[in-house]
Structure 1
């Protein structure tokens, strides 16, 4: 891996959260992970046993990786071995995001989110209000 030196005069980062990485310096492999269940309900109702990721296949299915079998021939010329930046201002880095100043060999980021919307049913066949929750 060709080494270059990164020089940043100032950096301001407000928030790094949910499996994200803020790396200053060189690294070989970065592998951030994030899992989230996002449940939206019409009114507040909480059960103590919610949040079982294994109940949803999206969290256990393997993500297919592309097979790259073509050769790319290119030449690059770096006039300088320095990367110079005056100012970086970041509001947020979230959900397996990577903010990296330096060199790295590989980054393998993964974020999995299951959105569930639970709405009240309007009424039953007799026109009476039904306040039970239904899940999509």
Structure 2
């Protein structure tokens, strides 16, 4: 891995999400993983049988992550005339789930994000019965 000094004069970051990384500098490896199970309801109701999550019921959590093919022997040469990476200013609105912003060098960057979002929406008939 190339080792250089990273100089970041100004960074404005609005939001960094789950398992995300904002890095100024070199690193050997960044490995982000996220597995999320979310249930959305119009009214917060909790049932006695909830809280027992069985990932075998949801295929998205069991499938292996799709990894890129290994390098195919591409030869390259770099000549770094400056011993540093210089960033004057960066403005980041948001880094979402398992994402990376890096001003520097990295040997390996991995990311794996899985999400199962269930929306339980009431039918129009059930809403009128509560009024």
Q: TM-score range by the shorter chain?
A: 0.7 to 0.9
Q: Highest Rg: 1 or 2?
A: 1
> In structure 2, do the counterparts of structure 1 residues 117 and 26 end up closer, same or farther at CA, with 3 Å as the change threshold?
same
Q: Which has the bigger relative contact order, CA under 8 A and spacing at least 6?
A: 2
> How many residue pairs are counted as aligned between the two chains?
123
- What secondary structure is seen at the aligned counterpart in 1 of 2:7? strand
For residues 9-28 of structure 1, the aligned pairs below 5 Å read 9-28=9-28
- C-alpha distance after superposition, 1:57-116 (max 9, x if no partner): 211221132333622122233232222121111122221111223222111111101133
For residues 119-130 of structure 1, the aligned pairs below 5 Å read 119-120=121-122
Deviation at 1:37, TM superposition (A): 2.6
Distance in 1 (CA, whole Å) between partners of 2:51 and 2:11 is 39
User: Does the 8 Å CA contact 1:37/1:51 hold for their aligned counterparts?
Assistant: no
Distance in 1 (CA, whole Å) between partners of 2:21 and 2:82 is 27
For structure 2, the residue ranges without an aligned partner over 5 or more in a row are 127-131
TM-score w.r.t. the length of structure 1 is 0.72
For residues 95-134 of structure 1, the aligned pairs below 5 Å read 95-120=97-122, 131=126
> In structure 2, do the counterparts of structure 1 residues 67 and 11 end up closer, same or farther at CA, with 3 Å as the change threshold?
closer
Counterpart for residue 60 of structure 1: 62
- What secondary structure is seen at the aligned counterpart in 1 of 2:60? helix
For structure 1, the residue ranges without an aligned partner over 5 or more in a row are 123-128, 132-136
- What secondary structure is seen at the aligned counterpart in 1 of 2:27? coil
- What secondary structure is seen at the aligned counterpart in 1 of 2:70? coil
User: Does the 8 Å CA contact 1:7/1:82 hold for their aligned counterparts?
Assistant: yes
TM-score w.r.t. the length of structure 2 is 0.74
